[in-house]
A = this chain, B = another copy of it.
């Protein structure tokens, strides 16, 4: 790099005086900040971090003593990136939180322009309803509540249910177009029978002549049982990727693209002993471990993980995975935002 983009011209007295005079016109000299605005490579504010589920689980369950789901609207502990505290975000563009729902509780119906995913961490018997159609949660399931669809949560079972929420709230708030509204009645009317979305859209068929949404998947429930068996199968029959093992993206059957306009989602399988090659991308990645133990080395930071742990790999960080046992990792990313805006890059190896 030459001096040009890295260095700042000297702030002489004459210049300082000038800056003062133009300030009242709401103008400022670009050359004082250009070196900060245009970096050679991405500079991330976020840090790599792992939330060990065993250590935080007790605190999470305690939230049920502090507040009901109904009073909280959504009883969630936000996972705040350690170097971006107070900003309700886990990476620059993404939000993550752990949501708890207790038997018999209801989290009331609302809708909002930010898109949300829920990845089930523990428990059974709870559901998310989309436009009144219920998706019953099992460990490892992915459930979507895309932008502006009505959704509520409830619980017909008898154990606490916890899931990881992933949203694009930071980005949508930054850009501006946040809309939200509670459902105007007591409860949302029942919709299609549970599982209808999978029967209708999840078998590589689409209704003849129907208009299917193009910005998000018409499926909103991706079951772990099927996801896992597909990955296990592929692990047998195919060479895995040097960086990612066997990594599959959940897609919309209507487009083959990401399940929501702003967030892409993945499940990957690392076999016992896997030692991945280095990878970096301008997207950031939030992981939840479904099965297995291992480490992800992000630059100089070693993130050691086991079942139910959440960890984050910030943008443009060199990282690689090691698996101590056959491992299944769910992840989500802001990759589609960057792809659509022509900004996505990735690099393999330690270039």
Chain B residues whose CB sits within 8 angstroms of the CB of A33 once the complex forms = 78, 88
Chain B: which residue is nearest A59 at the CB level? B22
Q: How far is the CB of A328 from chain B (nearest CB, A)?
A: 13
Chain B residues whose CB sits within 8 angstroms of the CB of A55 once the complex forms = 25
Chain B residues whose CB sits within 8 angstroms of the CB of A203 once the complex forms = 226-227, 230
Contact B204 A1 (CB under 8 A): no
Chain B residues whose CB sits within 8 angstroms of the CB of A316 once the complex forms = 176-177
Contact B177 A282 (CB under 8 A): yes
Binds B, one of A155-163, A233-241, A291-299, A300-308: A233-241
A261 CB contact (under 8 Å) in B71, B73, B97, B341: B341
Contact A204 B93 (CB under 8 A): no
Binds B, one of A122-130, A205-213, A270-278: A205-213
Contact B342 A261 (CB under 8 A): yes
Contact B78 A41 (CB under 8 A): no
Query: Is A266's CB within 8 Å of the partner chain B?
Result: yes
* 7 A–B pairs (Cβ distance < 8 Å), ordered by A: A5-B73, A5-B110, A25-B55, A174-B174, A196-B233, A204-B250, A204-B251
Q: Mark A164-190, 1 if CB is under 8 A from B, else 0.
A: 000001011111111111101000000
Kindly identify, within residues 20 to 63 of chain A, every residue whose CB is under 8 Å from any CB belonging to chain B.
21-22, 25-31, 33-34, 37-44, 49, 51, 55-56, 59, 62-63
Chain B: which residue is nearest A339 at the CB level? B340
Chain B: which residue is nearest A17 at the CB level? B66
> In the complex, A266→B206 CA distance in Å?
9
> In the complex, A44→B35 CA distance in Å?
28
> In the complex, A251→B247 CA distance in Å?
23
A43 CB contact (under 8 Å) in B113, B178, B248: B178
> In the complex, A233→B205 CA distance in Å?
13
Q: How far is the CB of A79 from chain B (nearest CB, A)?
A: 6
Chain B residues whose CB sits within 8 angstroms of the CB of A237 once the complex forms = 192-193, 196, 199
Query: Is A76's CB within 8 Å of the partner chain B?
Result: yes
Chain B residues whose CB sits within 8 angstroms of the CB of A233 once the complex forms = 195-196, 199
Chain B residues whose CB sits within 8 angstroms of the CB of A72 once the complex forms = 9, 29-31, 34
Q: Mark A7-20, 1 if CB is under 8 A from B, else 0.
A: 00100001100100
> In the complex, A212→B88 CA distance in Å?
37
Contact B31 A73 (CB under 8 A): yes
Chain B residues whose CB sits within 8 angstroms of the CB of A215 once the complex forms = 342
Chain B residues whose CB sits within 8 angstroms of the CB of A217 once the complex forms = 204
Q: How far is the CB of A239 from chain B (nearest CB, A)?
A: 11
Q: Mark A255-273, 1 if CB is under 8 A from B, else 0.
A: 1100001100011100000
Chain B: which residue is nearest A41 at the CB level? B179
Chain B: which residue is nearest A55 at the CB level? B25
